[in-house]
């Protein structure tokens, strides 16, 4: 059948001959040239001289190996190639000498392109569709595409499953003559091949044994392809006959030179704006010709780089007159430039630099900018006018000016100096915290007398959940100041405080400058949270950077690394928060005014829950007072058995948990109204966490209750002593010496305190009971329960002495008594800290009598009456006073010192 059709295809044979000869010479050249490469097969394997015609490498299940790029060698492309597959594309046509990625989804077209590549004919015609909304790769008729397109060479094919990705390079313009007919029998064979699984096709190809030279194999395939050129499958235009488009002769006139120069200038601007276009320009110039000297290539380059409409690009592709081609390419650019000039003359638009400068000066119009800063701004504006818009220094200068002009120079928010109004706001948001509220009202009173405000540096310290952060927001509202918060917990980079140098990529000012820009005032309230958890790393010590920021004598001229001009922070009210003071560096602590916010007792927690937490959380869960109620008794049980910590954060979580379960029951239809009381509380929050208030209801001999406090608040601490082994009065070498062993994960300070207490207890017992030598020759074990909790500090000294004496005399200490205080070797009782927390813990544990150092009387007198109510308090200077108080025999006759 193929031979019978041969007479009709003599012209095709002659046209193919030149192509075959070119490929024969290419095959010989590729064997000798190390840089030669072949066209990619359908699976990416090379078909070159080195592969001896083997079209595929790898097994059926082998991993896909990305295909290699073939050499961009236009001289290998035949000058005449009349029959090509038609690939229809959207939006942008392919221009000669440009590379484009095309994806094909139509299965028949995919198989056709694969067949062409296997036959060493990796060519196609790419034509632009007239309808951009048509996403099909195959058109039904030639009327759906423009007749002028581009002859492309397929350099790479990659199978992506449902589509075929090709990298093609345009070579010349072509025009469609006619659609080629479809031969039914060959169409069926191509359909069958398309329907075969990919693995089967690969297996068939691997079974072929081709020992002939590459050139002969290619010649045979080209000969076979001549008869199949027009026999193509299925409806739609898949193959077309094309002719080359020849440009008209032209003269390089002055107009052409001028337009060429303008296009070159425009392309340079495009490359400066987007360096990615530089790769495309380099591909254009790889052939060694000077593109800028060829108006045809130059117009194609300009059209390919522009973002014009698809029909405008098609007009450039179809134009054969060079002068018109150049004009069409540059017309849009010229019109845009003329439009800019017209708008500028009419005052509708300004140059970018003029607009930027006007914007910056407009910001400063109503602000009182210091003269030395205004000089810097003017200098930077002058420098901005001399820089190129696309240079990196231009962007650095513009960003610097943006920060300088965004600062609130001379802008202050009007403060509230009315004491009654400020007090009302503070009472509205927080319960208790009298020290904090008193200090803020004093600040307002001083400002009112002076007629002006000034900055201060306060530090609120106390356990978590007591309201340190939230009270700062209320203070800002009471003073009518803008509020800004940033946390320094874990911060290790000093640039977060002082800013980065402007020369760094992505440089920006420090947090305090960002604060001033955001709040737009010079007198905001700045909360520096978690100042006791600030870090230190190789990038500097942020706590040292805070020294300048928080020093009232220095922060009037704070110098940020980015702004590099002095900024006045003297009107800023700084408030820092911390849980403990030990980790804050001494120089930094010296700059701050410390205000202690201690934990809450049960009465305070109950008041906070009733006034603030319950109404707020009930609304948050979508409930009202009719649907959900919590009785005060239930809240008391919740506080006593579930939330014993100093703060109210856990109490907030538990109350929210109750309301969530209430909301679920109501929505689920189980109940319409819920009243949470003491009896049904466990249904909402589970079993109690704390079931007993103290470890010993009645303390035996050798056990005494002490008081301790941590960042979480105060707690009771029992000291236990016991005889480790039987006493040995006499050894081989004389009297046997006793010993003391301590356990309970005690710190070094507490271990030393235990040794001091042991020595003093032996001395004291010898004076009180000369015949009692129990502590002299006994091996005693001292333990502090809850061994998993680290314990340290000297305040348990007097408690340890009392426990040792109780063990030595075999007499229990007075019940319901707790004590705290450091003891010296001579029996002096020294002051300790955390008196409020310890007193609260003692009262919570049911203690009726507490013993404190005499020097802590001032701390105890500051406590609220409801905390000290019902407590018998003794202030002592020497341990002998404690011994009289705790001795059971003398308990009734002791005077009360409170």
Residue 106, pLDDT above cutoff 90? no
Q: 573 pairs with which residues across the strands?
A: 525
Residue with tokens 């199978």: 159
Nearest C-alpha neighbor of 442 from the set 188, 450, 354, 46: 450
Residue 691 lies in a domain: no
What's the domain range around 771? Answer: 703-890
Residue 249 lies in a domain: no
Nearest C-alpha neighbor of 736 from the set 748, 752, 725: 725
Query: What kind and span of H or E run contains 28?
Result: helix 10-32
Residue 58, pLDDT above cutoff 50? no
- Angstrom CA distances, 533 to 510, 530, 789, stand at 19, 6, 21
Residue with tokens 């109750």: 658
Q: Which residue has the higher pLDDT, 363 or 254?
A: 363
Q: CA 492 to CA 496: how far, in whole Å?
A: 8
Residues 10 and 29 occupy one common structural domain = yes
What is the predicted pLDDT for the residue at 291?
A: 56
CB 408 within 8 A of CB 369: no
Q: Label residue 577 left, alpha or beta by phi (over 0 means left) and psi (-120 to 50 means alpha).
A: beta
Burial class (CB in 10 A: 0-12, 13-18, 19+), 556: middle
Residue 282 banded pLDDT, cuts 50, 70, 90: low
Among the listed ranges 317-321, 417-421, 550-554, 735-739, which one has the minimum average pLDDT value?
317-321
Q: CA 381 to CA 383: how far, in whole Å?
A: 5
CB 812 within 8 A of CB 718: no
Q: Is residue 462 part of an annotated ligand binding site?
A: yes
Q: CA 841 to CA 863: how far, in whole Å?
A: 14
Nearest C-alpha neighbor of 403 from the set 547, 556, 512: 512
Q: DSSP 3-state assignment of 54?
A: coil
Q: For the domain that residue 618 is a member of, what is the CATH number?
A: 1.10.8.60
Q: Is residue 566 part of an annotated ligand binding site?
A: no
Q: What angle do CA 12, 16, 18 make, to 5 degrees?
A: 135
Residue 196, pLDDT above cutoff 70? no
Neighbours of 787 (CB within 10 A): 12
| Strands 817-819 and 779-783, bridge-based pairing | unpaired
What is the predicted pLDDT for the residue at 337?
A: 66
Residue 70, pLDDT above cutoff 60? no
Q: What is the phi/psi pair of residue 738, to 5°? A: -75, 175
Residues 111 and 225 occupy one common structural domain = yes
Q: Is residue 467 part of an annotated ligand binding site?
A: yes
Which stretch, 519-528, 592-601, 686-695, has highest mean pLDDT? 519-528
User: What is the rounded average pLDDT of the residues 667-693?
Assistant: 87
What is the predicted pLDDT for the residue at 249?
A: 66
Residue 436, pLDDT above cutoff 70? yes
Q: CA 890 to CA 893: how far, in whole Å?
A: 6
Q: For the domain that residue 127 is a member of, what is the CATH number?
A: 2.30.130.40
Query: Could you tell me the sign of the dihedral formed by the alpha carbons of 314, 320, 322, 327, in that order?
Result: negative
Residue 211 lies in a domain: yes
Residue 270 banded pLDDT, cuts 50, 70, 90: low
| Strands 703-710 and 713-725, bridge-based pairing | antiparallel
What is the predicted pLDDT for the residue at 715?
A: 84
What is the predicted pLDDT for the residue at 573?
A: 92
Q: CA 820 to CA 798: how far, in whole Å?
A: 7
The residues near 231 (Cβ < 8 Å, ≥ 6 apart) are 182, 183, 185, 186, 187
What is the tens place of the pLDDT at every residue in 755-811? 999 999 999 999 988 888 888 888 999 999 887 788 888 999 999 999 999 999 999
Residue 652 banded pLDDT, cuts 50, 70, 90: very high
CB 210 within 8 A of CB 53: yes
Residue 608, pLDDT above cutoff 60? yes
What is the predicted pLDDT for the residue at 356?
A: 86
Residue 513, pLDDT above cutoff 50? yes
Of 806, 838, 843, 887, the active-site residue reads 838
Residue 697 lies in a domain: no
Residues 658 and 801 occupy one common structural domain = no
Residue 207 banded pLDDT, cuts 50, 70, 90: very low
Q: What is the phi/psi pair of residue 848, to 5°? A: -105, -15
- The tokens for 184 are 């039914």
Of 795, 836, 843, 887, the active-site residue reads 795
Cβ density class 512-529: b for 16+ within 10 Å, e for less: bbbbbeebebbbbbbbbb
Residue 666 banded pLDDT, cuts 50, 70, 90: very high
Q: Is residue 464 part of an annotated ligand binding site?
A: yes
Residue 613 lies in a domain: yes
Domain boundary among 685, 711, 733: 685
Q: Which residue has the higher pLDDT, 387 or 706?
A: 706
Residues 235 and 283 occupy one common structural domain = no
Q: Is residue 463 part of an annotated ligand binding site?
A: yes
Residues 516 and 663 occupy one common structural domain = no
Is 838 labeled as catalytic in the residue annotation? yes
Q: CA 439 to CA 552: how far, in whole Å?
A: 18
Residue 63, pLDDT above cutoff 70? no
What is the predicted pLDDT for the residue at 334?
A: 63
Beta strand segments in 599-699, E? 628-630, 674-676
Residue 91 lies in a domain: yes
What is the percent of the chain with per-residue pLDDT over 70, rounded to a whole number? Answer: 74
Residue 91 banded pLDDT, cuts 50, 70, 90: confident
Residues 774 and 873 occupy one common structural domain = yes
CB 630 within 8 A of CB 596: no
Q: What angle do CA 385, 390, 395 make, to 5 degrees?
A: 70
Total domain count, the chain: 6
Residues 811 and 768 occupy one common structural domain = yes
Residue 137 banded pLDDT, cuts 50, 70, 90: confident
Nearest C-alpha neighbor of 752 from the set 788, 800, 704, 707: 800
What is the predicted pLDDT for the residue at 613?
A: 93
CB 447 within 8 A of CB 431: no
Residues 134 and 154 occupy one common structural domain = yes
Residues 592 and 610 occupy one common structural domain = no
Residues 275 and 391 occupy one common structural domain = no
Q: CA 314 to CA 304: how far, in whole Å?
A: 11
Nearest C-alpha neighbor of 100 from the set 87, 112, 111, 110: 87
What is the predicted pLDDT for the residue at 250?
A: 62
Residue 735, pLDDT above cutoff 80? no
Domain boundary among 204, 222, 244: 244
Residue 1 lies in a domain: no
Nearest C-alpha neighbor of 234 from the set 42, 106, 144: 106
Query: Could you tell me the sign of the dihedral formed by the alpha carbons of 170, 174, 176, 180, in that order?
Result: negative
Q: Is residue 465 part of an annotated ligand binding site?
A: yes
What is the tens place of the pLDDT at every residue in 15-40? 444 444 444 443 433 333 333 333 33
Q: For the domain that residue 873 is a member of, what is the CATH number?
A: 3.30.230.10
Residues 478 and 394 occupy one common structural domain = no
Q: What is the phi/psi pair of residue 618, to 5°? A: -65, -45
Q: For the domain that residue 562 is a member of, what is the CATH number?
A: 3.40.50.300
Is 474 labeled as catalytic in the residue annotation? no
What is the tens place of the pLDDT at every residue in 841-873? 888 888 999 999 999 999 899 888 888 888 999
Residues 636 and 518 occupy one common structural domain = no
Burial class (CB in 10 A: 0-12, 13-18, 19+), 288: exposed
Q: CA 881 to CA 897: how far, in whole Å?
A: 11
What is the tens place of the pLDDT at every residue in 389-425? 778 888 899 999 999 999 999 899 988 888 899 999 9
Residue 123, pLDDT above cutoff 80? yes
Q: What is the phi/psi pair of residue 859, to 5°? A: -70, -40
Q: CA 210 to CA 121: how far, in whole Å?
A: 19
Q: What is the phi/psi pair of residue 792, to 5°? A: -160, 165
Residue 654 lies in a domain: yes
- The tokens for 716 are 């009771």
What is the predicted pLDDT for the residue at 59?
A: 40
Residue 278 banded pLDDT, cuts 50, 70, 90: low
The crossing angle, in degrees rounded to 10, of helices 310-318 and 322-346 is 140
Domain boundary among 346, 365, 390: 346
């Amino acid at each position: 059948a193929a031979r019978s059709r041969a007479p009709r295809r003599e012209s095709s044979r002659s046209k193919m001959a030149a192509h075959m000869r070119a490929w024969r010479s290419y095959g010989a050249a590729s064997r000798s040239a190390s840089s030669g490469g072949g066209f990619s097969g359908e699976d990416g394997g090379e078909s070159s001289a080195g592969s001896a015609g083997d079209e595929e490498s790898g097994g059926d299940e082998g991993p896909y190996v990305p295909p290699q790029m073939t050499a961009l060698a236009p001289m290998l492309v035949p000058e005449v190639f009349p029959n090509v597959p038609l690939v229809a594309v959207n939006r942008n046509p392919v221009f000669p000498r440009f590379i484009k990625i095309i994806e094909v989804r139509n299965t028949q077209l995919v198989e056709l392109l694969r067949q062409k590549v296997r036959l060493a004919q990796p060519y196609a015609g790419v034509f632009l569709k007239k309808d951009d909304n048509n996403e099909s790769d195959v058109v039904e008729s030639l009327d759906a595409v423009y007749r002028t397109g581009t002859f492309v060479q397929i350099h790479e094919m990659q199978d992506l499953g449902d589509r075929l990705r090709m990298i093609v390079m345009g070579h010349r313009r072509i025009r469609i003559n006619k659609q080629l007919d479809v031969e039914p029998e060959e169409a069926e064979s191509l359909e069958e091949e398309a329907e075969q699984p990919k693995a089967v096709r690969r297996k068939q190809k691997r079974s072929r044994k081709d020992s002939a030279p590459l050139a002969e194999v290619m010649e045979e395939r080209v000969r076979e392809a001549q008869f199949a050129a027009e026999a193509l499958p299925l409806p739609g235009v898949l193959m077309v006959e094309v002719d080359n488009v020849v440009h008209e002769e032209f003269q390089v006139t002055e107009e052409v030179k001028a337009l060429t120069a303008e296009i070159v200038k425009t392309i340079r601007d495009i490359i400066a704006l987007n360096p990615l276009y530089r790769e495309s320009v380099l591909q254009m110039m790889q052939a060694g010709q000077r593109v800028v000297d060829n108006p045809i290539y130059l117009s194609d380059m300009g059209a390919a780089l522009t973002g014009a409409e698809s029909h405008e690009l098609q007009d450039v592709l179809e134009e054969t007159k060079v002068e018109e081609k150049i004009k069409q390419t540059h017309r849009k650019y010229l019109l845009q430039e003329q439009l800019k000039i017209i708008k500028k003359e009419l005052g509708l638009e300004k140059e970018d630099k003029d607009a930027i400068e006007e914007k910056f000066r407009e910001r400063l119009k109503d602000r009182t900018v210091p003269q030395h800063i205004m000089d810097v701004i003017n200098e930077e504006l002058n420098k901005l006018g001399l820089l190129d818009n696309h240079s990196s220094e231009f962007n650095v200068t513009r960003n610097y000016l943006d920060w300088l002009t965004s600062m609130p120079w001379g802008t202050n928010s009007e403060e509230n100096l009315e004491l009654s109004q400020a007090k009302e706001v503070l009472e509205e948001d927080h319960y208790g915290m009298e020290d904090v509220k008193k200090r803020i009202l004093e600040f307002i009173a001083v400002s009112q007398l002076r007629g002006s405000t000034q900055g201060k540096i306060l530090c609120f310290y106390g356990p978590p959940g007591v309201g340190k952060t939230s009270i700062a927001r209320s203070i800002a509202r009471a003073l009518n100041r803008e509020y800004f918060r940033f946390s320094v917990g874990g911060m290790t980079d000093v640039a977060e405080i002082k800013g980065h140098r402007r020369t760094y990529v992505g440089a920006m000012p420090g947090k305090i400058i960002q604060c001033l820009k955001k709040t737009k005032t010079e007198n905001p309230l700045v909360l520096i949270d978690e100042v006791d958890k600030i870090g230190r790393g190789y990038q500097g010590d942020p706590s040292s950077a805070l020294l300048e920021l928080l020093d009232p004598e220095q922060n009037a001229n704070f110098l940020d690394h980015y702004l590099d001009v002095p900024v006045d922070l003297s009107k800023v009210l700084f408030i820092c928060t911390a849980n403990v003071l030990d980790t804050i560096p001494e120089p930094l602590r010296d700059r701050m005014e410390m205000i202690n916010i201690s934990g809450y007792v049960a009465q305070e927690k109950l008041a906070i829950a009733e006034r603030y937490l319950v109404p707020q959380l009930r609304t948050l869960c979508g409930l009202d007072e009719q649907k959900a109620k919590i009785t005060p008794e239930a809240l008391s049980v919740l506080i006593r058995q579930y939330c014993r910590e100093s703060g109210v954060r856990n109490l907030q979580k538990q109350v929210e948990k109750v309301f969530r379960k209430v909301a679920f029951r109501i929505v689920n239809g189980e109940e319409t109204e819920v009243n949470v009381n003491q009896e049904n509380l466990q249904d909402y929050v589970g079993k109690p966490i704390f079931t007993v208030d103290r470890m010993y209801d009645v303390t035996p001999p050798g056990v005494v209750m002490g008081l301790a406090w941590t960042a979480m608040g105060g707690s009771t601490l029992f000291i236990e002593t016991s005889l480790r082994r039987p006493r040995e009065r006499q050894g081989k070498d004389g009297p046997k010496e006793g010993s003391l062993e301590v356990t309970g994960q005690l710190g070094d300070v507490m271990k030393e305190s235990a040794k001091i207490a042991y020595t003093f207890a032996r001395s004291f017992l010898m004076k009180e009971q000369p015949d009692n030598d129990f502590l002299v020759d006994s091996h005693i074990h001292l333990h502090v329960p809850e061994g998993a909790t680290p314990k340290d500090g000297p305040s348990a000294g007097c408690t340890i002495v009392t426990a040792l004496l109780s063990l030595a005399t075999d007499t229990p200490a007075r019940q319901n008594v707790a004590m705290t205080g450091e003891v010296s070797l001579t029996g002096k009782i020294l002051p300790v800290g955390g008196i409020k927390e310890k007193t609260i813990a003692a009262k919570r544990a049911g203690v009726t009598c507490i013993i404190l150092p005499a020097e802590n009387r001032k701390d105890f007198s500051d406590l609220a009456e409801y905390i000290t109510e019902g407590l018998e308090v003794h202030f002592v200077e020497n341990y002998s006073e404690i011994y009289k108080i705790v001795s059971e025999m003398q308990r009734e006759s002791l005077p009360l010192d409170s």
